[in-house]
Structure 1
Amino acid sequence: MKEKDLYEPARKALLQKFSEKGECHLEVTATAIGEQLKLVLDDQAVYILETEKKKPDLLGFLKVKSELGYESKKLIVAEVKSKSLTLEDIYQLKMYSEMLGSHFAYLISPKGFSEARRRFLIYRHSVLQISTGVRQISVLQLTEEDTLVTDEKLCSYRPFDP
């Protein structure tokens, strides 16, 4: 299966996970960024994404309300891979996440990491950290039923909680 064939199933599975958390908007952005997203992103980020011709596979936001009733939009970035995941995939996602200042960063694949790479990441957990320090990259497996399963050895928190 080609990577692009997984974009829509991954997008729908993420929307399902976020459905209880608030209003979620998520687009396949591998080739273009929609106008609704451009309104949420800062102009510099849009410029860089378009001129560098580097775009995450999925991009969106989750609207959440604070206890005081204020609404905020938390950016979601996801990279989808059809093959076994590599360290290069992590750094590609880090680039997008740090460039956009995302709150959520997901690396999604039906295959996950090889056992050797998983062991490496368990012992070098900092590789999954994003420089903003707010969150870490969440590694998710897209199942044959198009649901998402969290790799709990690599993700020590609830990856969909705002």
Structure 2
Amino acid sequence: MDGRKLAGAIAGELVAGVRITAMLMRNERKSSEPSEIANIKRAGLAKLGREVPSQEQLPDTREQVVIQGGHLLLSAAAGAAYALTTDRDAALLPSGIAFGLAFYGAMHWIVGPTLGLKSPEWRPDRTTLVMHTVNHIGFGLVTAAGAALAGHGSK
């Protein structure tokens, strides 16, 4: 395993994760509604028998730290998965796009609905599907770029 590639992939995914965190929090404030990720976290807590805020209540600072911290940990794990599943010489565009789509498929189409944390991805409107797809392709590309940049010269 190339440690520089691993570190670069994790860093790239964290950069992408921070970007989406900022976007989610901005959209919460604009819409006055909790983000999808907040609702997913709350659904998980409810399944564990924990008390959760009402669906209309925006996350407070403590809840945001848990929500976004968990999202960034998932981002770091995704970056590590990219580094572990791609060749050192993987082309940036195809590997980044493929990884972003695979991660999107796994999380939004399989894991989330299977665990009952979110509605199946085929139910939302076209705009939501496009947004999720584009965001995850972006994640994949930033992850691949981070891995490529950090791994450059480590051959």
Range into which the TM-score falls when normalised by the shorter chain: 0.3 to 0.5
By relative contact order (CA 8 Å, sep 6+), the higher-ranking structure is 2
| TM-score (normalised: structure 2) | 0.33
| TM-score (normalised: structure 1) | 0.32
Larger Rg: 2
Higher helix share: 2
